[in-house]
Amino acid sequence: MSTAVVIGAGASGLASAFYIQKYLPKFSKVIVLEGSKQVGGWVSSTKHSDGCIFEHGPRSLRPVGEQGRNTLHLVEELGLSHDVLPVFRSDASAKNRYLYVKKKLCPLPNSLAGLFKTLPPFSKSLIRTLAMEPFHRRGKTDESVHSFVRRRLGREMADIAIDAMVRGIFAGDCRKLSVQACFPPLYKMERDYGSLFAGALFGSKGPKDDAESSHLTRRAKNEAWASWSLANGMQSLTDSLAESVGGSKGGEVRLESPCVRLSPASDGSGKMTVQTESDTINADLVVSAIYSKDLASVLPESMEDLREDLSALPSVNVVVVNLEYKDNVLPVKGFGHLLPSSENKQILGIVYDSCTFPEHNRKNCPDSTRLTVMMGGAWYNHLLTREGVLPDGNELVWMATDAAAKQLGIKSHPIRWQVTLQKECIPQYQLGHVAWVQGLEEKIQQSKLPLHLVGASYRGPAVNDCINNARKMVASLAQIS
């Protein structure tokens, strides 16, 4: 009888357990250890009794690419197809995205005609910027996202558009993050084809796409979905995964059971010993699906070298403020807007949730508005008081409503709000990140321990990446076992 232990019940850990049960039947016991009171990790939704849903982490996923199709296939396997809320590419919330620059909301080009216009805040049309792109020199090694874009598309694009976009995706500073790790397709296009233009034209030499196709993936393609969520919020994805894992023979999801120590078994069996506060498990396979620093903290001193490496990955804190207004108070329709760091350090952007998923509005108030104001990230220190503490919840709500008032002209008061501090929630892939991951994996391989790393710390923080990387890890084990 073989036992697999998965540490962490976020999207990565639950998906790992699900795929172990599916592809590695020799593990008759699959135990998921979760330190907190609930599963899901950063995937977290609050459903109020009147039907209003607030998302505190991811709010929509993209259906495209291997990763996107894989998650949709999983959704179908979990029996959640009827809960899927698609956003079509023709919807305003898919087409319209804004930047807030020089105290103005600036729409980004969303049509062919838009590419030819000079739209503020830019001093030339996007087509002029793109026309020069193939003639810029190739980079040599990994570099920052900002430096890559400045080299290929010019300083204005890097300072405004990319700065804001990286704040929206990684809550991070594009001057510090690695283009190779954060945007692998862009890095590969330049490396393989010399320019983004040629890369887009001739296709990228990506690895073989092995995501299974299904009814839902075909629907997404045929109906041109831009993104999707679930009727009961994103958390229903991780809740369903946990139910599936725990409900399968030999599967168990233990809440409030943090792994406190993980070490090589002392009997020389090649297994690992996983300790919780109340139990010791002898594991034939261990999957770590937690932040790399958290893994470092449970390894023994004898693994100091690995501990040190795992501790090197920084992450940022994000304050998420969900707001609900009684009426439709948005001046525009769209996904939301982002702010470059030169405009405002504290506020990263505002998502217009009710525009994208009106189905998540409270039932007796279909015209209500739900917004999420994202704050902090790599600029978290700018939120702190002179004494170095985070302002209290009321102050943070005031900052969020003030941002909505100034940036969107919303004068009314919210009827409901919720503030969540997401500590160390988004790992920051700095220069050399890809080599760092390779180094870690080599060290683990050399140790011959049955330990595998998945999760947002390594190969992409997006939920689609987390789930697909879990599948790939298990598939590679299924091939060799």
Ligand X SMILES: Cc1cc2nc3c(=O)[nH]c(=O)nc-3n(C[C@H](O)[C@H](O)[C@H](O)COP(=O)(O)OP(=O)(O)OC[C@H]3O[C@@H](n4cnc5c(N)ncnc54)[C@H](O)[C@@H]3O)c2cc1C
| Closest by Cα among 103, 101, 111, 104 to 159 | 101
422 near ligand X (CB under 6 A): yes
Phi-psi region of 296 (alpha: psi -120 to 50; beta: other; left: phi over 0): alpha
43 near ligand X (CB under 6 A): yes
- Binding residues for ligand X, rule CB under 6 A, total 37
419 near ligand X (CB under 6 A): no
- Least Å distance between CB 15 and ligand X? 8
According to DSSP, the residues that pair with 114 across neighbouring strands are: none
Q: Give the Cα separation of 135 and 197 in Å (integer).
A: 10
321 near ligand X (CB under 6 A): no
Q: Which of 425, 431, 437, 474 binds ligand X (CB under 6 A)?
A: 425
- Least Å distance between CB 150 and ligand X? 26
Residue 146, SS3 per DSSP: helix
| Closest by Cα among 328, 420, 429 to 374 | 420
According to DSSP, the residues that pair with 98 across neighbouring strands are: 107, 337
299 near ligand X (CB under 6 A): no
**274-282: long-range contacts at Cβ-Cβ below 8 A with a sequence spacing of 24 or more?**
274/5, 274/7, 274/33, 276/33, 281/3, 281/5, 281/31, 282/3
Q: Residue 425 is inside which H or E element, if any?
A: strand 416-427
User: Amino acid identity, residue 22?
Assistant: K
Q: Whose Cβ is closer to ligand X: residue 10's or residue 199's?
A: 10
Q: Whose Cβ is closer to ligand X: residue 368's or residue 422's?
A: 422
457: number of CA atoms within 13 Å, CB side? 27
Q: Which of 10, 172, 199, 251 binds ligand X (CB under 6 A)?
A: 10
- Least Å distance between CB 403 and ligand X? 16
239 near ligand X (CB under 6 A): no
| Closest by Cα among 437, 476, 480 to 455 | 437
Only one of the segments 54-62, 153-161, 267-275, 308-316 lies at the binding site for ligand X (rule: CB under 6 A); that segment is 54-62
Q: Which of 179, 272, 298, 408 binds ligand X (CB under 6 A)?
A: 298
Q: Give the Cα separation of 94 and 436 in Å (integer).
A: 35
Q: Whose Cβ is closer to ligand X: residue 187's or residue 429's?
A: 429
Q: Give the Cα separation of 143 and 430 in Å (integer).
A: 9
The Cβ of residue 431 has, within 10 Å, a number of other Cβ atoms equal to 18
**Residue that is written with structure tokens 């004494």 in the block:** 387
259 near ligand X (CB under 6 A): yes
Residue 94 structure tokens: 């898919």
377 near ligand X (CB under 6 A): no
Q: Interaction with ligand X in 106-135: which residues (CB under 6 A)?
A: none
Q: Whose Cβ is closer to ligand X: residue 54's or residue 148's?
A: 54
- Least Å distance between CB 374 and ligand X? 7
Only one of the segments 140-148, 239-247, 384-392, 458-466 lies at the binding site for ligand X (rule: CB under 6 A); that segment is 458-466
> What x/- string results for residues 56 through 75 when contact with ligand X is judged by CB under 6 A?
-xxx-x--------------
- Least Å distance between CB 276 and ligand X? 8
The residues of the shown chain that bind ligand X, judged by CB under 6 A, are 7-13, 33-36, 41-43, 57-59, 61, 258-259, 289-291, 294, 298, 318, 320, 422, 425-426, 455-456, 461-464, 466
